[in-house]
Structure formats: C-alpha cells, structure tokens
Structure 1
Amino acid sequence: MKIATYNVNGINGRLPVLLRWLAMAQPDIVCLQELKAPQEKFPLEAIEEVGYHAIWHGQKSWNGIAVLSKDQDMRQISNVLAGDQDDGQSRYLEVLVHGLLICCLYLPNGNPAPGPKFDYKLQWFKRLQQHAAMLLEKKLPVLLIGDFNVIPSDLDVYKPERWLDDALFRPETRRAFEKLLDQGWTDAIRTLYPNEKIYTFWDYFRNAYGRDAGLRIDHFLLSPTIKDRLSTGGVDGHVRGWEKTSDHAPVWIELNDGP
C-alpha cells in the first residue's frame, strides 16, 4: 500500500499539478495540506475523475486538509484536534481507511518567533502530543502524516546555521517533535534513510530548488503496531520542478500488507 502526503499550497491553483502527479504516482491514500479553499470550493469532481474519493475540511484563504483514497470505504472520525474548543483553524483530519487510522495534519508555522504565532504553534503541538499518546494507548495502526513545520535536525536543512531563530528549527520546536518520537512513534523517512540528506520543501526565492537548498518538514510518524510494515519510501522531488507547482514535493511510503 502506497501512502503519500503533499502540501499543495492552494489546491485550485495547483490542481493541474496535483492531478498530473496522482496519475503518475498512483498512491492508494494521500494526505493534502494547505488547501486554501473553503469547503464548497474543493474540486471533488476533478479528483473523482482520476479515481479518488475524498474527505476534506476546507478553510477560506488559508489552511485546509484532505484525505484522498482509491477505496470509497473511508470514514471521517474527526476534523478537530482535541484540547481547544475555540480553535477554528482547519489543520487536523482523522480518517479510517484500509484498516488504518490516518491522521492528516498541518501544524502551524509559528513565525515570527517568539510571539503569539509561535505560542500557538507550541500549544497546538502540546495538544497533538496529548492526543497522540491517547491513540497509542488504544494500540491501533495509526499514522500521523503531513506538514509538521518542523526541521528535526541539522541533517534536515540546508545551512542549519541560517535557521537557528526560525520557528521551524528553534529548540522548543525540535524538543516538541522529539517528545512525540519518545512516545513510541517512528519517523518513517529518517528510519529508511538514517544518514542521507532528504528534503521535502524548497522556497520559491533565491533559486532554492535549483541549488537544492531545502528542508525536510513533511513527515510520516508510525505507531508501534504498524512500523514493522514499513518497506520503502521517498520524495518525488521532480514535482517541485514542474511549472506552477507547490513549494513542497510529495512524500510517500509503502507498507506491506497487514492483518
């Protein structure tokens, strides 16, 4: 089973890119982030025409997440992250499909840091940690998937010394990510490529993609009940070079069949 994540950076503006990649890559399940479209503007008909069903939670102008699947037997569990009933940002979607609990997330950027946006990022991270711990207690096959807006280590960023004060790389952010891993989650891509430079994002400025000046901020975290099914994975970095594309590239893993 092939599972992917892709921050599309505006689903309607990048729809030709998304459809082209779906046709080429043929993932079974896809988590999308940063739809930048209200609920009624999601391009469901175009998605269905290329063989996918969808559950989505849109938001006007910003945020928004979706889960696509070739299997129509897909059920939404939740579209809010527990812990703050007043949080109106569309950043979390939990779906049951193929016997897997898929948790699609778009963690806040947090810049400028320090400041209110960074405080919100850390609060959101704490809520995610609490919910993730609860999911582990249930011993279900769970995947936390998406744009975490976290650079976990120096290996995951071009010239790390330039990112020391950025919300994606500040010590508080990395510690929050480490706390998730300490619960028992497996960072799938880093597990597959323990010592290799792997990037998933290249800025639009200063020819970042051409210079390969990137970041790894899109992640798959696997619960202990599913980590042994991980077989392979990678980044479709060539998609970042397409015309009118997102500043992220699709990232994917493959799981062996389970019970």
Structure 2
Amino acid sequence: MKIASWNVNSLNVRLPHLQQWLSQAAPDIVALQETKLEDERFPDDALAAAGWRSVFSGQKTYNGVAILSREAASDVQIGIPGFGDEQKRVIAATVGDLRIVNLYVVNGQDVGTEKYAYKLRWLDAVHDWLADELREHPNLVVLGDFNIAPDDRDVHDPEIWNDDHILTSTAERDALKRLYALGLHDGYRLHHDEGGVFSWWDYRQAGFRRDRGLRIDLTLVSDALRGACAGAGIDREPRTWERPSDHAPAWVELG
C-alpha cells in the first residue's frame, strides 16, 4: 500500500496536477495540505469520478487539509482535540486497518516571534493527542508538511539553516524528536541515509533549479508498521511541471 503526502499549495490551481499525479503514481491514500478551499468548493465530485473518496477540512485562501483514499474513510477527526484553533491544519481518519493523521504544521514565521511560540504550543498539543491515538490505533501513519527539517542532511546549507533559523531551530527539532519518541519512525530514513534530498524549494532565487531545498514533508510510521515499511521516497517530477506547487509529494510504501 502506497501512502503519500503532498502540499499542493492551492488545490484550485493544482487540481490538474493532482489528477495527473494520482494517475501516474497510483497511490492508495493521499494526504493533502494547503488546499486553500472552503469545504463547499472542494472538488469532491471530480475526484470521485476517478475513484477517490475524500474527507476534508478547509478554509478560504489559507491552510486546508484532506485525505483521499480508494476505500471510504471512517472515524474522521478534524482539528486537535481540546486545542482551540480556527486554522484548518489537522485531519485524521481510519482507512481499512490504518489510522491516518494528516498535519499541516504551523510555519512559525521567525524564531522568537509570537507565531514561533504558537508553533511550539501547537506541536505540544499534537504530541499529547498522538500519544492517545497510538494507544487506540497501533497501526498509525502520521504524515504531512511538518515545516521542520529533521537534521542537517535535510537542508541544502546547514550554515544558513541553523539554530537561529525557522524550520531548523533546536526547539523545533526537539519537538519533532518528541514525536519520534512516542514510537514513530521517519519512513524515508528507514531506507535512505544520504543527505541532499528535498521536498520543498522556494519559488524565489531559482530554488528548484539550483536544488536549494529542504526535506520538510515527512511520512512517519508507528512501531507496529515499521517492519512493513517496504520503501519511501520523494517524487520530484511534479515540481518540474508548469505552475507547480513549491512542494513535491513524499510517499511511503507498506508491504
């Protein structure tokens, strides 16, 4: 089973890209972030015509998350339980015997700002919720745009992307390590040790052409699924298409 995550950076703009990629890559479950659509505008019918079931939570212009699956999802959770937040950044659902949690993690703006402090509070709330999810759902996959590069292998220039920089600060990386400590494993790192493979490139300064990127789109699998993790990767091709998202799909395969 192939499970993927893709920050599409506006589903209204990128729907043709999504449809093309779904046909080519043939995943079974896909988590989307930054759909940027109110629920009534979500292209449910167009995706259903291609055999996809969708659950989604969106808002105009910003954020928005969805889970697409071949099999209908159940037990849908929108938002972090007990954490008051109007931003549509979290959706979870059960698909078959898998619990899927899709996160669009807060960016945080800059280290030391109010938005940075909010990001860390948000990640604390995610940690406590995922601890509960794991107790109830051992077969857990947590994936999405984490807006954190796990270590120096995941940035194009560690001298720039250091402790003073958003997405790579010690506090953010420590928050991610706390999620790992629950019994979650970076699917990509289970199969690849090398650095220099990225999932996001800035639109500015020819970031993609110069391969000045970050790996911030992650696919995490629980202890119960680690042995079944048969492969993982990042599909750069959609980033080469006309008017692309700044992110590429990240995927993990469970055998």
TMscore range, shorter length: over 0.9
- For the 8 Å contact 2:201–2:212, the answer to whether it is kept is yes
Structure 1, residues 1-59: CA drift from partner, whole Å, max 9, x if none?
11100000000111111111111111000000001111111111221222211000011
**Alpha-carbon shift at residue 77 of structure 1 (Å):** 2.6
Structure 2 residue 245 is the aligned partner of structure 1 residue 246: yes
2: CA distance, partners of 1:83 / 1:169: 28
1:80-136 CA deviation, whole Å, 9 max, x = no partner? 11232x311111111000210000110000012211111110011000111112222
| Aligned equivalents of 1:157, 1:108: Cα separation in 2 | 19
Which residue of structure 2 aligns with residue 255 of structure 1? 254
Segment drifting more, 178-187 vs 122-131? 178-187
Instruction: State the distance in 1 between where 2:233 and 2:179 align.
Output: 22
Q: Which runs of 5+ in 2 are unaligned?
A: none
Do 2:100 and 2:142's aligned partners in 1 also have CA atoms closer than 8 Å? yes
- 1:1-259 pair list within 5 angstroms: 1-71=1-71, 73-84=72-83, 86-138=84-136, 140-164=138-162, 165-256=164-255
| 8 Å CA contact retained: 1:57, 1:90 | yes
The Cα of 1:138 is off from its aligned counterpart by: 3.1
CA distance in 2, matches of 1:203, 1:29: 26
**Deviation per CA, 1:198-256, whole angstroms, max 9, x where unpaired?**
21111101111111111000111111111111001211101101001100001111101
2:98 touches 2:139 (CA, 8 Å); kept in 1? yes
- TM-score normalised per structure 1: 0.95
Are the equivalent residues in 2 in contact too, given 1:33–1:106 (CA < 8 A)?
Answer: yes
Displacement of 1:160 in angstroms is: 1.6
Cα RMSD over matched residues?
1.2
| C-alpha contact 1:111 1:166 (8 A) present in aligned 2 | no
Inter-CA distance 10–76: structure 2 relative to 1 (3 Å threshold): farther
Q: Is the 8 A contact 2:105 2:147 kept in 1?
A: yes
- Measured after TM superposition, the shift of residue 196 of structure 1 is 3.8
Shifted more, 134-143 versus 52-61: the winner is 134-143
Letter in 1 for 2:61: S
CA contact (8 A) 1:55 1:76 kept: no
53-62 vs 75-84, greater mean Cα deviation: 75-84
Equivalent-residue separation in structure 2 for 1:98 and 1:207 (angstroms): 42
4+ residue stretches of structure 1 with deviation over 4 A? none
How far apart are residue 139 of structure 1 and its match? 5.3
- Matching residue's letter, 1:217: I
Provide the rounded CA distance (Å) in 2 between the counterparts of 1:41 and 1:23: 22
Q: TM-score, normalised by structure 2?
A: 0.96
Gaps of 5+ in 1: none
**Contact 2:99/2:137, CA 8 A, preserved across alignment:** no
Q: Percent identity?
A: 39
Deviation per residue, 1:112-167 (Å, 9 max, x gap): 22111111100110001111122223352001110010111010000121122222
